[in-house]
């Protein structure tokens, strides 16, 4: 009988939720009681909404426990491990019986996330045990031609998962066609979209898959050097990448004459970025790697011809590289079975916002947005009405409930005015103000603009000023038209993708939620009751108990009334801070 395994999820999300304390408590229990089981670490399993997570694998199967604290950890060790009696109340996923969370797992097809949550990311042996590095060993052993590797990637239909969706194999071919004494491969791990954590989770949970993808890419285009451009705000990812790189060198997967292939010399180092959103644009990223300010430049020449240090360079993101080993091992046709005609394979999404099951999912292209939100995500928190989903981050747009049957592929999402982006899905409910959402994302892109282009630098500032006026009740007739005119000028005259896509959140919210803009401007009201400057607060006499909490907490003493008597808000003095609404325990404050 195999030894029982106890595996604790120690990704950033798990650690933040208390998983390190759970791990230490289990270790202490094992040592104190002299228990015979194997205690292991893994990373993000995907169910971020259930962290901390502990998996127990015994002779009967696998049991994933969720919402585990130190007390529950001791209970499941004592009952499940010691007495072989699983604690079913805490099990969130197993194949042995139905659980409410099985719906989160069943629709997923894991290619990129195939090892996340299953291996210890700091042990190369765990990766190798799950077919790790078999793809590059196959290429080396069979001496597969470089062009054949590229053709396999082309035939798979894999498109860049960083947001642009350019065919990966074609990008590799362009770099291969440009001959030079040095070539470079760069992995863009500078994940900048608010609400996105896909790349971080892959780097923390399965760093070797990214390394192997880069090594295969290096072989295909004859690259001599590799760079992983990772934001410094991802310390755990960087730590595990450094461990993985050193392990890969020791095993001969990096270095000179890799796996016995004469002249195949390739190594990787990490460049820590400062988290600049503009460095998601490849020429700005290259400038940053070279030690310059991260600013885009005109193209052509494209990086495939003149990139890092003016040498031919190929750039893909984390998710793209993680797909490569699977494609080489299983074949282009197997990968192309998933997805739609022009969007093959799977896509990883980070579900965030007003959704019941927030976390990381990997689904086949072609699934509907509605199924992602309501089947995998479990629907909207507190069963409120679904209003919109933001896709593509600040460069994307808001897709309304009326278009939630849109399928997830590049062309269908683009048709809505949003973009696939790197895979963030921020879900919004009926209590979300879409004008405020547009202002939030535009403020982000304005701050992240490198300032090189006047239209981007000044145009986003002017748009933000207009949106701010609107949310403060100072909107004017014609403001919507001004926003649209500025948006198209910025899109048409900006050099890089940041400026060209910065107006998307504004344009899509105007397109689908124009009535909300008009209510803010004409009626001076926020339908979602979010913009405080547009709200009026009144006491409901029938509900007021005279407890005085509202008056005590009013920062400007704008509330009159005696104890146990009905209170009254002086509108001329009210600063609309909402403190009375927040503090009232009897729902006696009306907002409109």
478-530 tens-digit pLDDT: 999 999 999 999 999 999 989 999 999 999 999 999 999 999 999 999 999 99
DSSP string for residues in 477-545:
TTHHHHHHHHHHHHHHH-SSHHHHHTTHHHHHHHHHHHHHHHIIIII---TTS--GGG--EEE-TTT--
| Cβ neighbours around 155 below 10 Å, total | 16
Instruction: Tell me whether strands 568-569 and 61-65 are parallel, antiparallel or unpaired.
Output: unpaired
Q: Diameter of the chain by CA atoms?
A: 90
| Cβ neighbours around 574 below 10 Å, total | 18
Could you report how far apart the first and last alpha carbons of the chain are, in Å? 66
DSSP three-state, residue 182: coil
Distances from the Cα of 362 to the Cαs of 91, 331, 345, 582, in angstroms? Answer: 22, 19, 10, 39
Confidence label for 275 from pLDDT (cuts 50, 70 and 90) = confident
- Using CB atoms within 10 Å of the CB of residue 270, give its burial: 0 to 12 exposed, 13 to 18 middle, 19+ buried: middle
Confidence label for 193 from pLDDT (cuts 50, 70 and 90) = confident
Please answer whether residues 121 and 9 qualify as being in contact, where contact means their C-beta atoms are separated by less than 8 angstroms.
Answer: no
Asked if the model's pLDDT at residue 297 lies above 90, the reply is yes
pLDDT 10s digits, 349-407: 999 999 999 999 999 999 999 999 999 999 999 999 999 999 988 888 999 999 999 99
Q: Which residues pair with 398 in a beta bridge?
A: 390
Confidence label for 9 from pLDDT (cuts 50, 70 and 90) = very high
- Any idea what DSSP says for residue 181? S
Sketch out the chain's domains with CATH numbers. 5-100 (3.40.30.10), 124-336 (3.40.50.11540), 346-429 (3.10.20.600), 434-523 (1.20.1440.230), 535-591 (3.30.70.20)
Percent of the chain clearing pLDDT 70 (strictly above) = 100
DSSP string for residues in 301-337:
SPTTTS-GGGS-EEEEEHHHHHHHHHHHHH-HHHHHT
Peptide bond into 301 cis (omega under 30): yes
Least confident of 168-172, 188-192, 213-217: 188-192
- Any idea what DSSP says for residue 266? B
Is the pTM higher than 0.85? The answer reads yes
Asked if the model's pLDDT at residue 194 lies above 90, the reply is no
| Cβ neighbours around 132 below 10 Å, total | 23
Check residue 394 and give its pLDDT.
86
Radius of gyration of the chain (CA): 27
DSSP string for residues in 542-575:
TT-----HHHHH-TT--EE--TTS--EE-TTT--
Check residue 192 and give its pLDDT.
75
Confidence label for 1 from pLDDT (cuts 50, 70 and 90) = low
Asked if the model's pLDDT at residue 195 lies above 90, the reply is no
Distances from the Cα of 95 to the Cαs of 57, 62, 108, 188, 411, in angstroms? Answer: 12, 7, 14, 36, 36
Closest CA to 504 of 370, 399, 363, 587: 399
Cα separation, 346 vs 214, whole angstroms? 19
User: What average pLDDT does the chain have?
Assistant: 95
- Using CB atoms within 10 Å of the CB of residue 307, give its burial: 0 to 12 exposed, 13 to 18 middle, 19+ buried: buried
User: Residue-wise over 459-494: b if at least 16 C-beta within 10 A, else e?
Assistant: bbeebbebbeebbebebeeebbeebbebbeebbeeb
């Amino acid at each position: 009988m195999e030894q029982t395994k106890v595996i604790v999820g120690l990704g950033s999300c798990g650690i933040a939720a208390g998983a390190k304390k759970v791990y230490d408590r289990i270790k202490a229990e094992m040592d104190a009681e002299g228990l015979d089981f194997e205690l292991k670490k893994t990373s993000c399993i995907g169910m971020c909404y259930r962290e901390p997570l502990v998996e127990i694998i015994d002779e009967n199967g696998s049991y994933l426990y969720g919402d585990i604290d130190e007390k529950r950890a001791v209970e499941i060790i004592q009952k499940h491990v010691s007495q072989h009696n699983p604690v079913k109340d805490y099990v969130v996923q197993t194949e042995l019986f139905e659980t409410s969370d099985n719906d989160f797992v069943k629709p997923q097809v894991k290619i990129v996330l195939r090892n996340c949550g299953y291996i210890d990311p700091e042990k190369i042996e765990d990766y190798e045990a799950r077919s790790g590095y078999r793809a590059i060993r196959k290429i080396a052993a069979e001496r597969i031609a470089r062009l054949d590797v590229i053709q396999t990637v082309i035939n798979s239909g894999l498109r860049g998962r960083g947001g642009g969706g350019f065919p990966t194999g074609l990008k590799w071919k362009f770099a291969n066609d440009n001959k030079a004494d040095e070539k470079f491969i760069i992995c863009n791990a500078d994940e900048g979209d608010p609400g996105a954590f896909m790349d971080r989770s892959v780097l923390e949970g399965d760093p070797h898959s990214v390394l192997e993808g880069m090594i295969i890419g290096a072989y295909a285009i004859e690259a001599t050097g590799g760079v992983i451009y990772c934001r410094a705000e991802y310390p755990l990812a960087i730590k595990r990448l450094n461990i993985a790189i050193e392990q890969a060198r020791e095993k001969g997967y990096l270095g000179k004459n890799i796996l016995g292939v004469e002249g195949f010399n390739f190594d990787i180092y990490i460049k820590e970025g400062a988290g600049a959103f503009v460095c998601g644009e490849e020429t700005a990223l290259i400038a940053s790697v070279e030690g310059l300010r991260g600013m885009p430049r005109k193209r052509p020449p494209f990086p495939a011809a003149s990139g890092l240090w003016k040498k031919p360079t190929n750039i893909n993101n984390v998710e793209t590289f993680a797909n490569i080993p699977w494609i080489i091992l299983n074949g282009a046709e197997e990968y192309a079975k998933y997805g739609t005609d022009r969007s093959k394979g799977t896509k990883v999404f980070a579900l965030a916002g007003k959704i019941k099951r927030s976390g990381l999912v990997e689904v086949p292209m072609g699934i509907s947005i509605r199924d992602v939100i309501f089947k995998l995500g479990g629907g909207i928190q507190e069963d409120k009405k679904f209003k919109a989903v933001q896709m593509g981050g600040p460069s994307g747009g808001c897709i309304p409930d009326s278009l939630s049957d849109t399928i997830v592929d590049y062309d269908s999402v683009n048709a809505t005015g949003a973009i696939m982006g790197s895979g963030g899905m921020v879900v919004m409910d009926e209590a979300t103000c879409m004008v405020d959402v547009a202002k939030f994302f535009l403020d982000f892109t304005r701050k992240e603009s490198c300032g090189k282009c006047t239209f981007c630098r000044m145009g986003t500032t002017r748009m933000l000023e207009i949106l701010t006026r609107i949310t403060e009740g100072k909107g004017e007739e014609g403001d919507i038209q001004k926003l649209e005119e500025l948006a198209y000028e910025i899109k048409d005259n900006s050099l890089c993708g940041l400026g060209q896509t910065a107006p998307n959140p504004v344009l899509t919210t105007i397109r689908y939620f124009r009535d909300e803009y008009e209510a803010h401007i004409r009626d001076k009201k926020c339908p979602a009751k979010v913009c405080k400057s547009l709200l009026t607060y009144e006491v409901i006499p029938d509900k007021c108990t005279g407890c005085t909490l509202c008056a005590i907490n009013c920062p400007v003493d704008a509330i009159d009334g005696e104890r146990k008597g009905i209170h009254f808000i002086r509108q001329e003095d009210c600063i609309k801070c909402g403190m009375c609404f927040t503090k009232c325990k009897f729902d006696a404050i009306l907002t409109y």
